[in-house]
Structure 1
Amino acid sequence: MSGSRSYGDLCGIARALDVVGERWALLVVRELMFGPKRFVDLHRGLTGVSQNVLSQRLRELEDAGVINRRVLGPPAGARVYELTRRGRDLEPVLLALGRWGSPIPPASTSATQLSTDALAFALKTTFAPAATDHLRGRHRYQLRLGHDAFHAEVTDGQLRIERGEIHDAMATIACDVVTLQDLVFAKRDLDDAVRAGDAVVLGDVSALRWLMQSFGTVDGDDGELAR
Structure 2
Amino acid sequence: MTGLRSYGDPCGIARALDLVGERWALLIVRELLLGPKRFTDLRDGLAGASPNVLSQRLRELEGGGVVRRHKEGAPTYELTDWGRELHPLLVQLGRWGARSPARPAGPLSVDALMIALEATFVADEATGLCAMYELRLGEARLSIAVDGATIAIARGAPRRPDAVIATDPATLRAVVFGDQKLADAPVELQGDKRLARAFFRLFARPRPGHQSAPAG
Question: Do the two structures share a fold, i.e. TM-score over 0.5?
Answer: yes
Residue number in structure 1 paired with 2:85: 89
Q: 2:112 matched to 1:124?
A: no
Matched residue type, 2:196: L
Q: 2:162 matched to 1:170?
A: yes
Residue number in structure 2 paired with 1:224: none
Equivalent-residue separation in structure 1 for 2:71 and 2:206 (angstroms): 37
Residue number in structure 2 paired with 1:106: 102
Equivalent-residue separation in structure 1 for 2:2 and 2:75 (angstroms): 25
Residue number in structure 2 paired with 1:205: 193
- SS of residue paired to 1:5: coil
Q: Once the 2 structures are TM-superposed, how far is the Cα of residue 147 of structure 1 from its aligned partner? A: 1.3
Residue number in structure 2 paired with 1:182: 174
Equivalent-residue separation in structure 2 for 1:4 and 1:163 (angstroms): 32
TM-score, structure 1 as length reference: 0.87
Equivalent-residue separation in structure 1 for 2:167 and 2:117 (angstroms): 16
- SS of residue paired to 1:165: coil
* Runs of at least 5 residues in structure 2 that lack an aligned partner in the other structure: 210-216
Residue number in structure 2 paired with 1:79: 75
Equivalent-residue separation in structure 2 for 1:182 and 1:4 (angstroms): 39
Q: Once the 2 structures are TM-superposed, how far is the Cα of residue 50 of structure 1 from its aligned partner? A: 0.6
Residue number in structure 2 paired with 1:52: 52
Q: Deviation per CA, 1:74-98, whole angstroms, max 9, x where unpaired?
A: xxx3210000001100011101111
- Contact 2:177–2:205 (Cα < 8 Å) also in 1: yes
- SS of residue paired to 1:149: strand
TM-score, structure 2 as length reference: 0.91
Equivalent-residue separation in structure 2 for 1:185 and 1:98 (angstroms): 15
* Runs of at least 5 residues in structure 1 that lack an aligned partner in the other structure: 222-227
Matched residue type, 1:115: S
Q: Once the 2 structures are TM-superposed, how far is the Cα of residue 218 of structure 1 from its aligned partner? A: 4.0
Matched residue type, 1:68: R
Equivalent-residue separation in structure 2 for 1:174 and 1:71 (angstroms): 34
Percentage identity across paired residues of the two chains:
49
Residue number in structure 2 paired with 1:158: 150
Count of aligned pairs between the two proteins = 209
- SS of residue paired to 2:37: coil
- Contact 1:187–1:213 (Cα < 8 Å) also in 2: no
- Contact 1:143–1:150 (Cα < 8 Å) also in 2: yes
Instruction: Note closer, same or farther for the CA distance 1:45–1:218 as it changes in structure 2 (3 Å cut).
Output: farther
Equivalent-residue separation in structure 2 for 1:162 and 1:10 (angstroms): 35
Equivalent-residue separation in structure 1 for 2:102 and 2:191 (angstroms): 35
Q: Once the 2 structures are TM-superposed, how far is the Cα of residue 49 of structure 1 from its aligned partner? A: 0.7
